[in-house]
A and B are shown apart, each in its own frame.
Chain A
Amino acid sequence: MRADYFIAILLMIPLTILQLTVIPFLSYNQIAPDLLLILLVYYTLKMGQMHGTILGFIFGLFFDLVSGGILGSAMFSKTLSGFLTGYFYNDNKVELNIHTFMFLFIVLVIGTVDSVTSSFFGSAETSSNIITLILMQGLFPAMYSSVLSLPMVIFHSRKIFA
């Protein structure tokens, strides 16, 4: 468990660098995938709800500090995401959740919640209605993150069925 924590925090650093340098080039109309969210969902499904919540808090704090964004917004949304991902955690279905298309579904659901939550802090006065907010700032970035985590699932499922 300690090793998993250590690896997750170690992976957080290069993924944050990628998120801040490469991902902006892949974004379209402010819709960008979230690499830290994929990592958070992966480790929460492996380690459980409580550890996911704590990891989410650490990821959010780190991202807020180094990205120059509002300190506390990613902390809040990632903590909540870690906690909610924990509801998909099942000790007997870890492999099934992580290495099948179920993983994409979980990233999609949690990504939507994460994006909507973080956008609330930045656009409290927005004139957009709730449907637009969920679609444009929630579902689309989550779908992008979900698609980006596809190679991970394909790679692992090949290893399992080989």
Chain B
Amino acid sequence: MRGFFSKFWFGYKEYIIVVLLLVLSLSVLSLNSKPGIKKVKAFAFGGFAVFTSGLSKVVEPFSTAFEVKNLREENARLMLQVNSLREYGIQNEELRRQLALKDTSKYPLISAKVVSKFASASQGNFIINAGEGENIKIGMPVINSQGLLGVVTSVSKDYSIVRTLRNRELKFAVKNQRSRYDGVLEWNGKELTIKNVPKTYDMQVGDRIVTSDFSTKFPPSIPVGVVAGGNRDKTGIFNDIVVNPYADFLRVEHVFVIAFVPSVQKNNLELNLIKNN
């Protein structure tokens, strides 16, 4: 019997090892949401981010030069827009006061720097150099001067993982700022799309897409992107609308975390509604 097993091992050890390791990998894949695994990951990326942040300081001057040039151009454009928006802002403040609406644009911003990026077609994420020490919490939205970047998914003492819009796990409600129609935005591995939008909805190329009031993940009216087109299926009644994000995910260096924690109460109410239906 022992001879049989030893013969079997020496004849097939490569296959036995690969099968064991692949099964182990698949088992770990299913455990990603377990709190224990999350803790191990937070400890590992927190420890390693110390090294990546060191190198990112060396790389920074090269990327910053490009960023500064872009920011100067953007600054000039924004300066022109600010004057006209200031006027609208005053009018808006007055109207909001009259309607007694809650202002969602006044959450504190926590500044942070990207120390590493995972350039993947489907699992886009960053590690930023702000963590529990800066009061960062899981679920907080992350933006830069261009628009929405993602959401904090894991926090260690000094670092946090940000799941970007270019990650299949992140889906959230958005709104067309002009026509006020809502939809759910997601990354399909290639582009950002609002799926299953009825053809009767008014969605035009160039329309601004912002976070929706219905979103439980983000405060409303954060710029997300512009409508770039639609995949028109002549036979169906729905379209998939393609959205070009404002933020340049590959070149982003400095980010802001919005100190907004998603409403647990609102989430629970929605879950109850789903259960009751």
Contacts and interface: CB of A to CB of B under 8 A. Distances in A.
Contacts of B24: 57, 75
Interface string B14-30: 10011001101111111
Nearest to B62: A25
5 contacts: A32-B119, A66-B49, A68-B118, A86-B14, A132-B190
A57 B190 contact: no
B111 interface: no
A76 B26 contact: yes
B244 interface: no
B25 A79 contact: yes
B40 interface: yes
A128 B119 CA distance: 19
A118 interface: yes
Nearest first, the 6 closest Cβ-Cβ pairs linking A and B are: A122-B122, A72-B29, A123-B189, A20-B116, A65-B44, A66-B48
Interface stretch (A3-11, A48-56, A91-99, A101-109): A48-56
B201 to A, nearest CB: 20
B188 A127 contact: yes
B25 A57 contact: yes
A83 B120 contact: no
A122 B55 contact: no
B41 A76 contact: no
A73 B41 CA distance: 14
A77 B228 CA distance: 34
A132 B48 CA distance: 34
B29 A20 contact: no
Contacts of A50: 13-14, 17
Nearest to B166: A30
B125 interface: yes
Interface string A11-33: 00100111011111101001010
A73 B26 CA distance: 8
Interface of B: 13-14, 17-18, 21-22, 24-32, 37, 40-41, 44-45, 48-49, 51-52, 55-56, 59, 62-63, 115-127, 153-154, 161, 166-168, 188-190, 240, 250-251
A87 B78 CA distance: 58
Contacts of A121: 29, 122
Contact of A119 (B55, B62, B121): B121
A137 interface: yes
A24 B56 CA distance: 11
Contacts of A128: 188-190
A53 B126 CA distance: 28
Contacts of A13: 51
B29 A30 contact: no
Contact of B22 (A25, A67, A80, A119): A80
A54 B14 contact: no
Contacts of A72: 25-32
B32 A70 contact: yes
Interface string A117-148: 01101111111100010001100000000000
B168 A122 contact: yes
A60 interface: yes
A33 B198 CA distance: 39
A122 B166 CA distance: 11
B118 A76 contact: no
Contact of B116 (A21, A60, A122): A21
Contacts of A57: 21, 24-25
B62 to A, nearest CB: 7
Contacts of B62: 25
A69 to B, nearest CB: 5
A123 B116 contact: no
A60 B25 contact: yes
Nearest to B47: A66
A53 B55 contact: no
A81 to B, nearest CB: 11
Contacts of A153: none
Most buried by B among A16, A27, A69: A69
